[in-house]
């Protein structure tokens, strides 16, 4: 760990905030992608069944 001196709090909190926000963005995007893909498959199979 590098010696960040008196600015340690600012540097570490910048990294923490940014990494958390990026991870949240990726997680929300992947979760919605999976959910919509599954829902579309359900709707398509229902439509096919009803002709």
Residue 49 is a binding residue for other proteins (CB under 8 A)? no
Two tokens at 47?
Answer: 């439509």
- For 6, 21, 25, 31, the CA distances from 9, given in Å and listed in that order, are 8, 18, 24, 32
CB of 27 to other proteins, least distance (A): 11
Residue 22 is a binding residue for other proteins (CB under 8 A)? yes
Q: How far apart are CA 24 and CA 29, in angstroms?
A: 8
- Summarize as ranges the residues that interact with other proteins (CB under 8 A): 2-8, 10-11, 13-15, 17-18, 21-22, 25-26, 29-30, 32-33, 36-37, 39-40, 43-44, 46-47, 50
């Amino acid at each position: 760990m590098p010696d960040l001196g008196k600015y340690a709090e600012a540097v570490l909190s910048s990294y923490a905030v940014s990494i958390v926000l990026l991870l949240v963005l990726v997680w929300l995007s992947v979760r919605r992608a999976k959910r919509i893909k599954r829902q579309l498959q359900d709707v398509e199979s229902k439509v096919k069944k009803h002709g």
